[in-house]
Structures are given as structure tokens and as C-alpha cells.
Amino acid sequence: MTEITGHIVPGFEPVRDAFAANFEADDELGAGFAVILDSEPVVDLQGGWADRKKTIAWDAETIVPVFSTTKGIAALVIALLLDRSGGELTYETTVASMWPDFAAEGKDRVTIGQMLSHQAGLPGFTEEIDPALWLDPPACAAAIAALPPLWEPGTAHGYHPITWGYLVGELARLIDGRTLGTILREDICAPVGIDFQIGLPEADHARVADIQRPRALADLGKINEATRAAFLTKWAAPNRGGAIWKAIEIPSANGHGTALGVAALYGLYANGGALSGNQIISAAGMGALTRRQTIGQDLVLPFITEFAAGLMRNNLGLYGPNPETLAHSGWGGSMGLGDPDRHLSAAYVMNRQSNHLQGDPRARRLIDALYGCL
């Protein structure tokens, strides 16, 4: 039996049972699950092992990369910056008006909202690059900005698994002067003690759990040029897991934190932009962030996807029963969600990766158990 630690408020015991069942089914190495309801943590569970040798217990200080679950957090930073502009910048502002080089190859009319909702046509590099380029964010952002789009921007959408973060990171720097990870740390996380970072200081590297990669490839459906560029070339992603990868900022992929930290940040979606009693993003700013930007057959993923300005809306019902829930999953199974009707946020993190693109069965068991308690 795997030891489960942490705390749970009476009435949520079925969530603990579901968390334990994931281990009993031998589906986990180590994991955490957290729930915040009406701004109060009601579940914060840890279990299993932080290392592949099973010598270091996963505890409340263990952090792990959450991969694309990071996107929903990066989107909050962009929303904060637009909010602070006092209407000068909106999701209808063109990217090229702040980043002239982005206008290359006919991308001059792409808006911030389109870029954030995967409509820019830049899911990856079709021509070979040195994979080390991914480890130099400014150079990588410039190289992506110079690319021709794979479809006419604004006419369709296709998931940008890695490139999204370099584009969003450069946008944040151009607006504010600081990096996106710095803004997140200084303006959102540090004031209230949230354990989540994009760009991890070396002092925190020892807390990072080992990642056990998926045992099988994901089902990407019918392969096309966009899918191949996004996922299937030898240069489609950086070398993930080394010290450099942890330390640099990739707002699409390398946020590190605890389940409670992720749940706290997705709590802004659950509470209309409020965090710990403070209005971080205005109601109008949250409305603009969370409304639908696009819905339809994704050109990269084998799903019909619905995107707000940087994260998914719950059109497939994978994140509970509320279609208004805002959520995102990460490579291997992590997820964060914010349900604005119930003022509920939740996050699942783990280090044994599955091959599910979204809707990992372990997370779904936890979500089902959670909503069964409400």
C-alpha cells in the first residue's frame, strides 16, 4: 500500500480513495492532487515516490514540471498585462504592432487573441533546426516569428505545443520589459507564497521529481504537415529534463510547481480574477481572457478543441460537468482546472507519464470523485 499524506476536509474522502486507487492500480510512481473551494484548500494530497529508484518520498515540497498545463498560467500573465494597459492593448491588437519582425511572411494581421488561441499557423519548424535553438528563448522566438504560417492565420486553429511559449514569452517581454516568468513570480506568486515557477532557480532543482516517460506513443490521428512539425520531427522539442531546461523560461512547457500551487493559480479562473481576496485581474479582463476565441477541428490534435485566449474551454467534458470550466492538460497527464460557477479549482501533477493527450484516466477518476462530493 502506498502511503498517502497531506490533508483532506471531511466530506471529500472519496477523493482520497480515488487518489489511492490510482496507486493500487499501479498507474502511478508519485503524484499530487489539490482542490481549492471558495478560496479554501479542501484537498492537498501527496503519495508515492519522487525518484525512479523509489528512495525519495513525494511530499508537500516536491515539485514537478507540468508541461502544457503551464499554458493556462502563462495566459493569466498576458491577461494581467493587457488589463494594466488600460485598454491600449487588447486581444484584438496585432502582434506585429509591438513586434514588427512577427509581420514576416504575411503575419502582419495576426492578433494577440489569435496567437494565444493557436490560430497563427506556427505549430513547429518544418525545416530542420539545431534542437539547441529551443534552449535560447530569444533566438528561438525570433526564428519562429520569421516562419511562414502553415495555414492562413485566423481561418483555422492547430495546437502549438512548444512554439506557443516562445511567442507568448516574447510578447510579455515587449509589453512589460520583464520576462513572463519574472512577472509571474514577482506580481502573482511571491506575494501570496504560491509554489510555482516558470524558470526554475538552481536552488530548487533538487526538489524536482524524476520523470518517467510514457510507455507508448500518443494517438495523434491522421498525420499532416502541421502535426509532423508540432510533434514528429527529430527537432520538434528541446532536450527536456536537464539543468538548462529547468532554468530557462518556456511558458508553454516548463512550469514547475506543486499541485496546490497549480490549483491556486487556476483559482483565478474559478474566482473571476481574484486571488487570496485581492482582485489580480479585473472582471472585464477575465471575461476577455476566458471567452471563446475559436472552436472546431484542430489541425494538429485529433479532437474538436475550443480555445479561449491561451487555454481550453471544457467542450469535451473532460474536466467535470461544467462547459464553462477553463482548463489545460500537460504532456503525460497533468492538468489544472477552474470552475467559475462553483468557485472551484483543482490540479493533478505526477511523474509517471501516460500517452493520453488530454483526459488522462487518473485525472478523470479524481475529477469524477471530486464532483461526486459536491
CB 41 within 8 A of CB 346: no
Closest residue by Cα to residue 251 from 343, 160, 146, 354: 160
* Alpha-carbon separation of residue 29 from 2, 93, 165, 350, 356 (angstroms): 10, 45, 28, 8, 17
> Which residue of the set 68, 252, 329, 334 is catalytic?
68
Catalytic annotation present for 68:
yes
Which residues are part of the catalytic machinery?
68
